[in-house]
Amino acid sequence: MSIEIKGITKEETAYDKRITFEREGVEYSVLLHWDSYDGYDITFKNKHNSTPKWAQDLIEVDNGDENLYEILDNLTEEVSV
């Protein structure tokens, strides 16, 4: 059998990132989810899976700055694991 591939396209439509980071001396673990239909979602992995106030403020940024989703996504793209 002879198969010759003439072209290929692969599209990433969703991903999850489990991220641990430190902010002001406190360590946080989150699940950052993105998909092409609904965009970003984040779940903080703590006692109640609740989002801290400082994080909610960064998620709701509306002045053109990066929001928390974009900050974590971009920082983790720069890290080689």
Cα 6 to Cα 2, 9, 11, 73: the distances in Å are 13, 11, 17, 33
Q: Which domain holds residue 55?
A: 14-78
Q: How many domains does the chain have?
A: 1
Question: What does the pLDDT average to over 52-68?
Answer: 92
Structure tokens at 28: 């946080």
Question: What does the pLDDT average to over 66-71?
Answer: 95
Question: Distance between CA 43 and CA 49 in Å, rounded?
Answer: 6
- Residue pLDDT, tens place only, 22-49: 999 999 999 999 999 999 999 999 888 8
In a domain, 37, yes or no: yes
In a domain, 9, yes or no: no
The closest alpha carbon to 14, from 42, 37, 31, belongs to 37
Q: Which pLDDT score is estimated for 44?
A: 97
pLDDT grade for 80, boundaries at 50, 70 and 90 = low
